[in-house]
Structure 1
Amino acid sequence: MPATLTIVRKSVVVPIAPDAAFALFTEGLQTWWPVETHSMSASEGKLPLALDMEPRLGGRIRETRHDGEPMEWATLTAWEPGRRLTLDWYVGRHPSQSTELDVRFEATPEGGTDVGLEHTGFERLGPAGEASAVNYDEGWDLVLGERFTRACAGR
C-alpha cells in the first residue's frame, strides 16, 4: 500500500464573512449537517437526538444517537476562530484510526469566504483507506458543497 493515499480537497465560496462562516460551521453544526444520511444513527435508518461540537482546542464532536448513546466523531487539534480548524476525524472508528480534516476560512474580495477543506491520513485505515477516501470525496460534496453552502446562503 502506498505511504500516502489520496488527499480529498474541496473548496466552496459562501456569501458570508469568515467569522460568520466559521461560527456556522462550528457552533451551528447541528443546523446544517445532513444527519439523515451522514450520522451513526442514519446507518440504522434513524435520526440522532443531537449533534454538537465543543468549540475549543481539544473539543469533541459528538452525536447523541437515536438510542441516547453518545458517539464521538472527532477531536479538535487546531482552533483559530474565523480562520481555521483541524480535527482528528474518526466517525465510527477508534480514535487511533483517525484521519485528519483541515478546514480554512479565507475572506474573498467580494466580502464572502472561501472555505477550503483538506482530508488526509487515509493510509492509517490500512486496506480500507482507499475506499474510505473515495467515499469521503463524494460525501464532502454533499456536506460542504451543498448543505453548508445552502446554510450560508440562508444567512
Structure 2
Amino acid sequence: MTDTARVLPLRRPPIRRSTLVRSSADHTFRVFVDTIGTWWPLQPYSAGKERVDEVTVEPRVDGRVFETWHDGTEVEWGRLLAWEPPHRLVMSWTPTPAPTEVELTFAALAPALTRVTVEHRGWESLSEEQLARDCATPGGYVGGGFTRGWTTILGRLTAAVEQTTPEEHR
C-alpha cells in the first residue's frame, strides 16, 4: 500500500459554543463553579433529573464534578484535568458512553464583558453507534444533540451571571 492509498480515520471535530456575558471573568467563573447546581438545567442534563439536590465542583486538579441526589447517591460527571481560575477549567466528561473532555474558557473582553467558550472534544473514542445515540437532547453528537445542549447550558449560565452581582459571591 502506498502512502497515498492509506485511509485515515475521519476526525470528529470538537463541539464549540460560546456566549458573551455582561460581567467580569472572575464573577462569571465563580457563578459557573459555585452555583452550578442552581442554574444548570438538571432536566434533562443530569443523571438524576428531579432527584438531584446539588451539583458540586471540587475546585482543584483531580477534583470531582458530581451531582448528589436526595438519597445521598453521588453520580460523577468527570474530574478536573486543569484548574486555572478565573480563566479556564478542563474536565473529563463521563456522561458520554466513553469519556470525552470539556474545556471552558472565560476570556475578559472588557471589565464587565466576558466570552465563555466551551469545547467538547474526544469524540474519537466513541463508536459510530454511540455517536448517533440520543443524549439528553435527541440526536447525540451526529444529530446535533450535544451542540443544542451546550447552547442551552451557556444560555442558562449567562442568565444566572447577569442576575447576580459580584458581591453575592464573596
**TM-score, structure 2 as length reference:** 0.79
Matched, 1:81 2:85: yes
Distance 2:59 2:53 in 1: 19
Match of 2:104 in 1: 103
SS at match of 1:10: strand
Match of 2:136 in 1: none
Q: Which runs of 5+ in 1 are unaligned?
A: none
Distance 1:130 1:22 in 2: 32
Q: Which runs of 5+ in 2 are unaligned?
A: 1-7, 134-139, 165-170
Q: Is the Cα contact below 8 Å between 2:66 and 2:75 reproduced in 1?
A: yes
1:109-150 deviations in Å (ceiling 9; x for gaps): 362111111111112121212553222111011111x21010
Larger relative contact order (Cα-Cα within 8 Å, sequence gap ≥ 6): 1
Distance 2:107 2:67 in 1: 28
**TM-score, structure 1 as length reference:** 0.87
Deviation at 1:5, TM superposition (A): 1.1
Deviation at 1:2, TM superposition (A): 3.8
Distance 1:10 1:106 in 2: 14
Distance 1:125 1:76 in 2: 21
Q: Is the Cα contact below 8 Å between 2:23 and 2:111 reproduced in 1?
A: no
Which residue of 70, 73, 93 corresponds with 1:69?
Answer: 73
Which residue of 142, 148, 155 corresponds with 2:157?
Answer: 148
SS at match of 2:45: coil
Q: Is the Cα contact below 8 Å between 2:24 and 2:110 reproduced in 1?
A: no
Deviation at 1:4, TM superposition (A): 2.3
SS at match of 1:40: coil
SS at match of 2:126: helix
Alignment RMSD (CA, Å): 1.9
Deviation at 1:65, TM superposition (A): 2.8
Distance 2:44 2:51 in 1: 9
